[in-house]
Amino acid sequence: MVNLKGRSLLTLRDYSSDEIRFLLELSVKLKEKKRKTGSGELLKGKNIVLLFEKTSTRTRCAFETAAFDEGGRVTYLTNSQMGKKESLEDTAIILGRFYHGIAFRGFKQETVEDLARFSGVPVWNGLTDLYHPTQALADAMTLLEGVGKPAGETKWVFCGDGRNNVAVSLMIISAKLGLHFALLCPQELSPDPGLVQEMTGLAEERGGSLWIGRDREAALKEADAVYTDVWVSMGEEDRMEERIRLLKPYQVNRKLMALGRKGCLFLHCLPAFHDLNTGIGREVYEKYGLESMEVTDEVFRSSGSRVFDQAENRVHTIKAVMAATLVEPGSL
Ligand code: CP
């Protein structure tokens, strides 16, 4: 039996294929449980802190509602002393005395790793510069739910910045699960070659594959789903002009979707710039004349779009991560 009690989730690189499959199976079970009974007591008596340095809608709310559903209690902390009046080490030790688990969202992977090192309790990465592991779990769950085929017969394609935390996390989870994963990205925004080599080996051992390049037809051939993310991540706002130049040819639109299989699904971690109903979207329109960025409104709102299922699955997968790392496997 897989036993994750006491483990942190800092990156999916630290998790075996069996452990990831276990988390996905538990997520499906917890989704069904919520649908049938609404709530449970898996996290009863557990105190959880969300230490967030960056803004969030889905990740924060998914951690909170997942905890509430199973009887946990949550503190949302955005103005701590950490790194200002108090060292990371001291803050981590204190939070570890108060809480059973810590969710962190912030600028550096190093911070989430140090929190895990010093706190003595499970720490969950809710996004750093390098990885977004809880997002990738929800994405894989949504893909497999939506496509309905075994991992070794399922292909998805990420279009955009191939070095961003979401693209890299998708590459890792795909390799571990033996999915077929294609990364359609400009040469300038390609992921670390060392990681690519490692993940190619892992994917092939598990019956999957990893393809990286710029040929749209090759990338989209037999694709079951297309995934994209924003062109500029949090903290990179001054790069907008450069990213528009590099990524405009990689926009997900009707023409690109038509290169995939019939009924090809569309995925996005959200938030998305698909219309002019955001402040940044309007600024980009006024400056560069783009009505949408990484995905057109038409594809975003199409029948193949699974973006809101994906957002909902953040709750079920995060709940699975917290439960698996906080309670005995026999109670799950
Ligand atoms: N996808 C995601 O991480 O959403 P938030 O930034 O709203 O948490």
What per-residue confidence (pLDDT) applies to 329?
A: 96
Q: Which of 58, 69, 135, 268 is catalytic?
A: 135
Q: Residue written as tokens 């557990």?
A: 46
pLDDT band for position 158 (50/70/90)? very high
pLDDT tens digits for range 234-293: 788 889 999 999 999 999 999 999 999 999 999 999 999 999 999 999 999 999 999 999
Residue type, 293: M
Say if pTM beats, i.e. exceeds, 0.95.
Answer: yes
100 given a catalytic annotation:
no
In the chain, the domains with their CATH numbers are 12-131+314-331 (3.40.50.1370), 150-223+225-260+265-303 (3.40.50.1370)
CA of 269 to the centre of ligand 1 (A): 7
135 lines ligand 1 (CB under 6 A): yes
Q: Would you say residue 233 has pLDDT above 90?
A: no
Mutate to test the pocket of ligand 1, among 53, 56, 104 (most ligand atoms within 8 A of CB): 56
What average pLDDT does the segment 69-95 reach?
A: 97
Distance from the Cα of residue 165 to its chain's centroid: 8
pLDDT tens digits for range 55-73: 999 999 999 999 999 999 9
What per-residue confidence (pLDDT) applies to 230?
A: 97
135 given a catalytic annotation:
yes
59 lines ligand 1 (CB under 6 A): yes
